[in-house]
Amino acid sequence: MIKISKIEYYLPELVLTNEDLEKEFPEWSSERIEEKIGITQRHISADNETVLDLAVQSSEKLFENYDRNKIDFILFCTQSPEYFLPTTACILQDKLGLRKNIGAIDFNLGCSGFVYGLAFAKGLIATGIAKSILLVTSETYTKHLNPKDKANRSIFGDASASTIIEKAENAKGYEFCLGTDGSGAENLIVKKGAFKTDFELNPNNEFGAEDLYMNGPEIFNFTIENIPGLIKETLAVNNLTMDDIDHFVFHQANSFMLNYLRKKAKIPAEKFYIDMAKTGNTVSATIPIALKNMMDKGMLKAGDKILMAGFGVGYSWGATILEI
């Protein structure tokens, strides 16, 4: 029912390498970082560079070969917005010079954001509300990180991905499987910055309430406990088997987690795509960046079926099938 017509992404100019981290934290080895999480470098937004700046860059790359006047809805996914209000999507409409008779909304999701964005786009297109949707997944998570937080600084990078979603004529519509478990909210959180004031810090949090806190072991356990079942459910509701899928593209959290997850879900290694070495974990942008890189490498052909799965902060998770 829907198709991805184009994807472009933008990475900030500033690069933080494993060697840079090793200089700041001599007790760490750059080789060990790469071995453990599969990342050699990540791009970091400048102090005066925001998700809107990144989104403009990735979207303008799209419009080099796509008529911007066709866009009739903007979906903007971020957890580091320009302002509390107005929505970043509204400002992006003006910055890009898009028509004024279009819809534009922000939604606050992390690593499941791209899959949720596709689900929203499917609904908008199926009901005739929109025909050509600009889905932007733009994140500057590094602004949430304490400078002394070597663990999270080794994982996260900043990026924006812009995707055009349109109706696919005479194509099969694949179902989505979405999930939520708010009981895990405390395990990946920035407590200070909005309007709640009566909060306590997790006793394991060595940094401030305004800094991102991630309970790595709990996030790992959540993923391993829930995502293999998500894959089975997604295949079942679409009447497909593992053999029917040509590629599996998951949220690029870190290579250790992904490889463990692949083995537990019994996914063949040759079908499982990992691509984060030069970008790190860019949150909601990881899946579209991976898809764009696969396209550029000539890895995808007409008719290929891709199972995409996003999972993380919330807890929130989602999966669907995309056919090229």
pTM: 0.96
> Lowest mean pLDDT: which of 69-78, 81-90, 169-178?
169-178
Instruction: Tell me the mean pLDDT in the region 14-42.
Output: 94
Q: Please state the length of the chain.
A: 324
Q: How far is CA 19 from CA 6, 12, 24, 252, in A?
A: 35, 19, 9, 21
Q: Which of 43, 111, 177, 238 is catalytic?
A: 111
The string of pLDDT tens digits covering residues 54-75 is 999 999 999 999 999 999 999 9
Do residues 220 and 1 lie in contact, with contact meaning Cβ atoms separated by under 8 Å? no
Question: Cβ–Cβ contacts within 10 Å for residue 67, how many?
Answer: 8
| pLDDT of 169 | 81
247 is catalytic: no
Whether 170 shows a pLDDT value over 80: the answer reads no
111 is catalytic: yes
Q: Which of 43, 144, 247, 251 is catalytic?
A: 251
Whether 201 shows a pLDDT value over 90: the answer reads no
- pLDDT exceeding 90 applies to what percent of the chain? 90
Find where tokens 């970008």 sit. 279
281 is catalytic: yes
Find where tokens 């760490």 sit. 28
**What 8-state DSSP symbol labels residue 98?**
-
| pLDDT band, very low/low/confident/very high, at 39 (cuts 50, 70, 90) | very high
Whether 8 shows a pLDDT value over 80: the answer reads yes
| pLDDT of 324 | 83
Do residues 252 and 258 lie in contact, with contact meaning Cβ atoms separated by under 8 Å? yes
| pLDDT of 208 | 87
Q: Which of 187, 238, 254, 281 is catalytic?
A: 281
